[in-house]
Amino acid sequence: MPKLTTIAEWAKLVGISRQSAYDAVDRCEIPVTDGKVDAEYATHRYETNTRKRAKGNKPDLLANGAQPSSVAGAGGAGGAEAPAKIPGYDSSRARREAAEAAVAEIKLAEMAGLYLLKADVDSVVFEVARALRDGLMNYGRRVAADVAPLTTADECEAVIDRETRTLLESMVHTFSEKLAIQIEDALE
């Protein structure tokens, strides 16, 4: 003889609301006799016809109050280990949305010309550094002919300053031309 209980009492046993229990009776086709259900059979039908929630707080009806056993880990013995801290769906979704928004802002700034691509900058810096190296290697030969006939230090300094300024202006021009950036008053 089955033990009959009211639907409200059965809902408390299963850990669901009374309204959810009435819905489950209809959905899971649980037989009702005089407003009462067989608790064991109703629980069985409910569990087989209902998908478990990811964060359900339902008690384990088959364990009769026993604590859940831990799974044996790599060490072979199951112990009382702290559960892994896994963020919830809402916080994970919020983090993903924030990351996607940040990426969209970066792409928008890139399209507006506020950011430069690293590969382009690397290429131009290499080109400018190579031109600067070549200019410095030839600097002595260019300046020597102009400085040799001069008699005062001030005249020599003026020629050297002129050549240095020309070399640095060439570097600034290359940067502004290749990367479309303005280097303001870099030589002054």
Residue 71 in any domain: the answer is no
pLDDT score at 81: 58
Q: What distance in Å separates the CA atoms of residue 186 and residue 166, rounded to the nearest whole number? A: 13
Q: Which domain holds residue 125?
A: 118-179
Residue 40 in any domain: the answer is yes
Residue 129 in any domain: the answer is yes
Amino acid 104 reads A
Alpha-carbon torsion (8, 14, 19, 22), positive or negative: negative
Strands 36-38 and 4-6: antiparallel
Residue 100 in any domain: the answer is no
Residue 88 in any domain: the answer is no
- As a dihedral over the C-alpha atoms of residue 61, residue 63, residue 64, residue 68, rounded to 10 degrees, the angle is -110
pLDDT score at 87: 78
What's the full length of the chain, in residues? Answer: 188
Note if the pTM is more than 0.85. Answer: no
Which pair of structure tokens corresponds to residue 128?
A: 């400018």
pLDDT score at 150: 86
pLDDT score at 188: 47
- The tens place of each residue's pLDDT in the chain, 188 residues long, gives 678 899 999 899 988 998 989 998 988 889 888 889 998 998 888 888 887 766 555 555 544 544 544 444 444 455 555 666 777 888 888 899 999 999 999 888 888 877 777 888 888 889 888 988 888 888 888 888 888 888 899 998 998 999 889 888 888 888 788 777 655 544 44
Q: Can you tell me which residue has the tokens 């009374």?
A: 18
Q: Which of 17, 32, 51 is the last residue in one of the domains?
A: 51
For 86, other C-beta atoms within 10 Å of its C-beta total: 7
Q: How many domains does the chain have?
A: 2
Q: Could you give the 3-state DSSP secondary structure of residue 13?
A: helix
Residue 168 in any domain: the answer is yes
8-state DSSP, 185: T
Residue 25 in any domain: the answer is yes
pLDDT score at 34: 87
